[in-house]
Amino acid sequence: IFDGHNGNAAAIFTREHLLSHILSAVPRGLGREEWFQALPRALVAGFVKTDKEFQSETSGTTATFVIVDAWTVTVASVGDSRCILDTQGGGISTLTVDHRLEENVEERERVTASGGEVGRLSIAGGAEIGPLRCWPGGLCLSRSIGDMDVGEFIVPIPYVKQVKLSNAGGRLIIASDGIWDALSSEMAAKSCRGLPAELAARQVVKEALRTRGLKDDTTCIVVDIIPPESSPPPSPLPKKPNKLRSFLFRKRSRDSANKLSKKLSAVGIVEELFEEGSAMLAERLGIDEGAGQTTSGLFTCGVCQVDLAPSEGISVHAGSIFSTSSKPWQGPFLCAACRNKKDAMEGKRPSGVKVA
């Protein structure tokens, strides 16, 4: 879901390019488990590359991007759209973090430390109204894609969370802030239980409109992750084959999962595999001795994937103090343009935005 502001250009650009940028940042030839482990880093690179390439407009967009692969769900998000997981047992997990300045103290501190100012809109007489905003620009969000008219401390680096569902499955509800301003996560989940996915999404929107009226974009996607034995069969089958399919599915799960996963599946608990929300690019890309090196001896930029000669690449850790083990000769490496982008996001160079 992409919820644009100041026009739809950023939302459209992100819709058309984000997926390909993410996939291009995943190394080739990985096994299944390695692919899952590489995905959080690729999501960060894809979000930053999309933002870096969107230079011609002043519009911006939130982005809530969900990848479902069997029982594993990976969510990357910037802004204030939200993704929740409603498990079969009725438990609700939030898989995103709200990047509204009004509600996120850590993000307010990060923005001010990077050179931005946070405050409410002032009107005649000195009175302050409305939510907290970042100046210049007056944006209520601390993270987005686009928004070239505000400081680059409004970053596109996503919060990423990866979970593994039990084999009972679950339901994802992904929606723009027009839904969540009207409904709590519990209300949204409860309003559509028992309905098929498409009708469930319409019901969530209907409930939000009934509660608050149409005051903002109200977009919702519902995705059901259903165990194989719960899927409607192509033709009527007796109960015995259903039990056999269930047994075979559980056997495959046992063969591929560790003991912890099996215990969690048995009691219907969601297993958290990965969570990270730092806005520091060096921390999010990590340390990798051979990151980005090609068979020709060249390197590739850890964000935009362009080829770099060994003398051209700048380590993402050069000058970084986020870890005592960081070494400037270790990858991933950045091209000069992406290094400038990193410095701007961290407030280490002027963003070029002037306050009127």
Tell me which amino acid residue 190 is.
K
Task: Please say if the pLDDT value at position 265 is more than 70.
Answer: no
Q: For the chain, which residues make up each domain, given as ranges? A: 2-229+269-278, 297-350
User: What pLDDT is attached to residue 101?
Assistant: 95
Find out whether 129 and 120 touch, Cβ atoms under 8 Å.
yes
Rounded Cα distance between 148 and 169, Å, is 40
Distance of CA 205 to the CA centre of its chain: 22
Task: Please say if the pLDDT value at position 324 is more than 70.
Answer: no
pLDDT in tens, 144-176: 999 988 888 899 999 999 999 988 899 999 999
Give the mean model confidence (pLDDT) for residues 297-322: 80
Q: Read off the pLDDT band of 249 (50, 70, 90).
A: very low
* Predicted TM-score of the model (pTM): 0.84
What are residue 41's phi and psi, to 5 degrees? -65, -40
Checking phi first, is residue 70 left (phi over 0); if not, alpha (psi -120 to 50) or beta?
Answer: left
pLDDT in tens, 274-287: 999 999 999 999 88
What are residue 303's phi and psi, to 5 degrees? -105, -60
Give the mean model confidence (pLDDT) for residues 180-198: 96
pLDDT in tens, 194-221: 999 999 999 999 999 999 888 788 999 9
Task: Indicate the burial class of 220 (C-beta count within 10 angstroms; 0-12, 13-18, 19 or more).
Answer: buried
- Helix 32-53 crosses helix 9-24 at what angle (to 10 degrees)? 140
User: What pLDDT is attached to residue 294?
Assistant: 52
The CATH classification number of 2-229+269-278 equals 3.60.40.10
Pick the closest to residue 143 from 160, 167, 119 (CA basis): 160
pLDDT in tens, 328-354: 667 799 999 999 999 999 988 655 454
Find out whether 334 and 314 touch, Cβ atoms under 8 Å.
yes
Cβ atoms < 10 Å from Cβ of 16: 10
Gap between the terminal Cα atoms of the chain? 33
Find out whether 118 and 111 touch, Cβ atoms under 8 Å.
yes
pLDDT in tens, 310-322: 778 888 888 754 4
